[in-house]
Amino acid sequence: MLIYIIRRIFLMVPTLLVISFLTFFIIELPTGDYISNQIAALKASGEQSSIAKLEFLRKEFALDRPFFERYLIWVGLWPGPHGFDGLLQGNWGWSFEFDKPVSEVVGPTLPLTVLLNFATILFVYVVSFPIGIYSATRQYSWGDYGFTFLGYIGLATPNFLLGLILLYLFNRWFGLSVGGLMAPEYIDQPWSVDKALSVLAHLIVPTIVIGTSGTAAMIRRLRANLLDELHKQYVTTGRAKGLKENHLLIKYPLRMALNPFIADIGNLIPSMVSGSVIVSVVLNLPTVGPVLLSSLQSQDQFLAGFILLFVAVLTLIGMLISDLLLAVLDPRIRLGGRAAQ
């Protein structure tokens, strides 16, 4: 098992390298870069004075080098204008748009993004698990139809609309401040118990809004998986032994139906980040989603590249977790090698 974990972690290294290359390649696909676009704009308006400074910046950030060199400098595998100074050395790059290091731009939002993602995934699993089991075991009952209907509404309602409605209701009922991930008075304040509580209270609406569609999809998936398993022969075998229905359900078919459920942890993360951009804008959430959008629009390449890579790392970690959980839960995966020998 330990060897399996180590092997899986080692496998992440080449995966990450490939992802970083693809990310960089895709970001560089549009012609030009942030600075050359600026130069073109300045030239058009006739301002010659700043151009020299921008040309200097292009050299400074090695934007005049060939593609592969630029990539390797960004990763930190090739000496740039200031020696080895890339992601591997802990330098996340420079954001031209904000005129700040990337770490300062995304620094405060990253923990909140991770927190929001974590809360959403937890919400998806906690809500969809019991409902999925209920829907499958009471197939075609009123409860099943009701949850199916709710699920479709969750899938069909635009997230920003749901967000606005919920914000309004929470404001009316609980006096929660509108927007953001904490009450305005705590912004830029040091962490305290009250601030943490405020963050938790403000997490509720975005978590529900971002999580609904994922929950609805997950309910349908668990329901379908479980329905498939319920009619398998081994369930009848268990029943023929005289097991009670609930005990039977939990021990046999539910455990089989869990596999796809767990395998999805990794896949949920990127869709949460990219899918929550509009919600984040509407609800004024300090997550990386809106930053990513604006950086892509303005070709702020180091910022965009870093955020994409960050999401990729989160995804890989999610996949690692689901792989390890699968190995723990399913002996066929754990012992697959043993059986083949």
Site string for another protein, 183-222 (x = CB under 8 A): ----------------------------------------
Q: Kindly state the smallest distance separating residue 247's Cβ from another protein, in Å.
A: 9
Spatial CA neighbour of 279 closest among 266, 293, 268:
293
Query: What crossing angle do the helices spanning 301-329 and 253-263 adopt, rounded to 10°?
Result: 160
83: β partners: 80, 81
Q: Kindly state the smallest distance separating residue 229's Cβ from another protein, in Å.
A: 10
Site string for another protein, 4-43 (x = CB under 8 A): ---x--xx--x-----------------------------
Spatial CA neighbour of 278 closest among 168, 191, 172, 163:
163
Contact 218, 130 (CB under 8 A): no
Q: Kindly state the smallest distance separating residue 230's Cβ from another protein, in Å.
A: 12
**Binding to another protein, residues 316-335 (CB under 8 A):** 329-332, 335
Under the criterion CB under 8 A, does residue 170 sit at the interface with another protein? no
Question: Rounded to 10 degrees, what is the CA torsion of 160, 163, 164, 167?
Answer: -160
Under the criterion CB under 8 A, does residue 143 sit at the interface with another protein? no
100: β partners: 95
80: β partners: 83
Other beta carbons less than 10 A from residue 5's beta carbon: 13
Q: Kindly state the smallest distance separating residue 253's Cβ from another protein, in Å.
A: 9
CA distance 276 to 284: 11
Under the criterion CB under 8 A, does residue 147 sit at the interface with another protein? no
In the complex with another protein, which residue's Cβ is closer, 7 or 172?
A: 7
94: β partners: 101
For another protein (CB under 8 A), the number of binding residues is 32
In the complex with another protein, which residue's Cβ is closer, 59 or 255?
A: 255
Q: Kindly state the smallest distance separating residue 93's Cβ from another protein, in Å.
A: 30
**Single-letter code of the amino acid located at 257:** A
CA distance 237 to 112: 49
**Binding to another protein, residues 226-285 (CB under 8 A):** 232-234, 236-245, 251-252, 255-256
In the complex with another protein, which residue's Cβ is closer, 175 or 242?
A: 242
Q: Kindly state the smallest distance separating residue 324's Cβ from another protein, in Å.
A: 14
Let me know the angle formed at the C-alpha of 150 by 147 and 152, rounded to the nearest 5 degrees.
110
In the complex with another protein, which residue's Cβ is closer, 13 or 29?
A: 13
Q: What DSSP designation does 100 have?
A: E
In the complex with another protein, which residue's Cβ is closer, 81 or 331?
A: 331
**Single-letter code of the amino acid located at 312:** A
Residues that bind another protein (CB under 8 A): 7, 10-11, 14, 232-234, 236-245, 251-252, 255-256, 329-332, 335-341
